[in-house]
Amino acid sequence: MEQALKDFHWGREIEIQQYLQPLTAKEALRMLAEHEGRALVIAGGTDVIPMLRQGDIEADVLVDISRLPEMGSIEFEGDLISLGGLVTHAQIASSPLIREKAGLLAEAAGTVGSPQIRNVATVAGNLVSAQPAADVTLPLLALNARVTILSPKGEREVPLTQFFPRQGRPAIDCRREILTRIRFSALQKSQGGCYLRLSLRKALALPMLAAAIVVAVDKEKRAIKEAAISLGPVAPTPFRAWKTEAGLRNAPISKATLEGAARTALEEANPRSSLLRGSTEYRKAMVKVFVKRGLSRALANAGAALAEEI
Amino acid sequence: MKDLKLAFKLNGRKISTKIPPRLLLVDLLRDILNLKGTKVGCRQGECGACTVLVNGEPINSCIYPALKVAGQSVTTIEGLSQGEKLHPIQQAFLDEGAVQCGYCIPAMALTAKAFLEKNPHPDESQIREGLSGVLCRCTGYRKIVKAVQKASKN
């Protein structure tokens, strides 16, 4: 019994030797370099701590970046929105400006975990965890966000579309580097967005399926100029439905267009059967529903609502 | 593993102690400071039984490194009443009979306090959303929600 408890996450201690709290980014990088490979960046810790406890990851040293300056706020630089690496889900969900200028992101942020989790969990952490079902990752992917990564060699900017090359392995090394900033453009007047999520409960439940959609429209021609559709979890990584998007470029705003998009999405998305999330058949059927419904709502939010019922 | 210094405010009082770096906030509160009002449930940030307030905001103390509270202000259920005088939320839980086994109640009361400070006039669905981070396995939500309604300014 005692051994069973030890093997279970509940009884397990987190085996770290040091917990460091740098006050500058430079100091943080130095600490990571000093304990090369054995140190890990922690911010909110809502993923890192459970993963350490369950033995999914190992680290001797945690470098807590939550005191680094100038990373905790949401900033607007003209049409560009910039989120510091320490901005939490709660900040995003309650920001009137994010609600107005990137409503789908605020919507998604408000669905994560619980108020307790959202108060602590950072948006950057959601990206770094690179889970295919990550809620705020999907709208940021559809908004073509770019992330700034600070490494000992300097700063680099990576488009989120290139940030998830492989399952669970984002294009950042959290034993050496820090995600400092997330940037994306505010939605324009000719654009509309929407976030849809299907889950077993309203709180503390990962999505069975989620979709983030952004459309840009030409209102005079009644056409979709461009659409961005991200879906999760339908693949090993957060997924952009590129084929579906290509089919929507310059397509007329019509029920037929949306139905075509739903069919293409069904071909390119591959949800697995999961006891937790439902059968492949059900989730595939819901991919179709979400693409149609999501596009229709995004179009309405862009001021170009469909004339027919879907 | 070297112990590290930690100074913070707990229920209005200054605390200064030395702790191992791996310690999580819930274990500091329960095992070292002997405040057993904060409960341990799932130990993975799901059930919310370990909820305490850090700078007035509810967090899950079972996945929160204790050293994070350095220089911050922490409120546990022990800090809610003023001596013998119950906080209005505690009184409302009593009046409504909102407590069954009681295990989730410290977390419910603290979460409700933080929630009502931000939303003094909530409707029922807002209360349910506000409390959604704490699970009651007696499923006694109805009376808990009623108690929070009573403690609100409606």
Other CB atoms within a 10 A radius of the CB of residue A249 amount to 12
Q: What pLDDT score was predicted for residue A4?
A: 67
Q: What is the pLDDT of residue A167?
A: 84
Of A186, A213, A248, the last residue of a domain is: A186
A18-20 β-sheet, strand order: A18-20, A61-64, A39-42
- Per residue in B65-100, pLDDT (tens digit) is 999 999 999 999 999 999 899 999 999 999 999 999
Pair A144, A207 in one domain: no
Q: State whether A260 and A144 are in the same domain.
A: no
The verdict on a CB contact (< 8 Å) between B24 and A62 is no
Nearest to B63 among A50, A202, A203 (CB): A50
Q: Does A202 touch chain B (CB under 8 A)?
A: yes
% of chain A beyond a pLDDT of 70: 96
A residues 88-107 lying closer than 8 A (beta carbon) to B: 90
Q: pTM for the whole thing?
A: 0.95
**Comparing C-alpha atoms, which of A216, A223, A259, A261 is closest to residue A242?**
A261
Residue by residue, DSSP assigns B2-35 as: --EEEEEEETTEEEEEEE-TT-BHHHIIIIIS--
pLDDT at A270: 84
- The domain tally of chain A equals 2
Give the three-class secondary structure for A172: coil
Q: pLDDT tens across A147-202, in order?
A: 999 999 999 999 999 999 888 789 999 999 999 999 999 999 999 999 999 988 88
Q: Using the beta-carbon criterion (under 8 Å), do A204 and B22 form an inter-chain contact?
A: no
Residues of the domain holding A40? 1-186
**pLDDT above 90 coverage of chain A, percent:** 79
Q: Are residues A124 and A266 in the same domain?
A: no
Q: Which residues of B touch A53 (CB under 8 A)?
A: 43-44
Q: Are residues B69 and B25 in contact, defined by beta-carbon separation less than 8 angstroms?
A: yes
Which residues of chain A have a CB within 8 Å of the CB of B48?
114, 116
Domain ranges of chain B: 4-79, 88-151
CA separation for the pair B152, B154 (Å, rounded): 6
- Tell whether the model's pLDDT for residue A272 goes beyond 90: no
- CATH class of the B4-79 domain in this structure: alpha beta
Which residues lie across from B14 on neighbouring strands? B9
Can you name the CATH fold of B88-151? Answer: DNA polymerase; domain 1 (1.10.150)
Same domain, A22 and A106: yes
Share of chain B above pLDDT 90, in %: 96
Q: Is residue A2 predicted with pLDDT exceeding 70?
A: no
Q: Which of A142, A158, A186 is the last residue of a domain?
A: A186
Do A14 and A98 lie in one domain? The reply is yes
Indicate the pLDDT class of residue B153, thresholds 50, 70 and 90. confident
- The answer on pLDDT for B1 being more than 80 is no
**Structure-token pair, residue A86:** 């320490």
What proportion of chain B, given as a percentage, has pLDDT over 70? 99
Beta carbons of B111 and A16 less than 8 Å apart? no
Q: Which of A16, A66, A202 shows the shortest C-beta gap to B132?
A: A202
Partners of residue A93 in chain B, C-beta under 8 Å: none
> Does A263 score more than 80 pLDDT?
yes
CB contact under 8 A, B111 and A45: no
**Euclidean distance between CA atoms A128 and A180, whole angstroms:** 11
Q: Do B60 and A16 touch (CB under 8 A)?
A: no
Amino acid at A105: L
Are the Cβ atoms of B132 and A114 closer than 8 angstroms? Answer: yes
Q: Residue A17 domain-assigned?
A: yes
Domain final residue, candidates A155, A186, A217: A186
For A33-56, write each residue's pLDDT tens digit.
999 999 999 999 999 999 999 888
In this prediction, residue B86 carries a pLDDT of 96
Residues of A in contact with B69 (CB under 8 A): none
Does A164 fall in a domain?
A: yes
Looking at chain A from residue 117 to 176, which residues have their Cβ under 8 Å from any Cβ of chain B? 117, 119-120
Q: What is the spatial distance between Cα A201 and Cα A195, in angstroms, rounded to a whole number?
A: 17
| Assigned domain for A101 exists | yes
Task: Give a yes or no: residue A310 inside a domain.
Answer: no
Are the beta carbons of A114 and B42 separated by less than 8 Å? no
Residue A271 clears pLDDT 90, i.e. is over it:
no
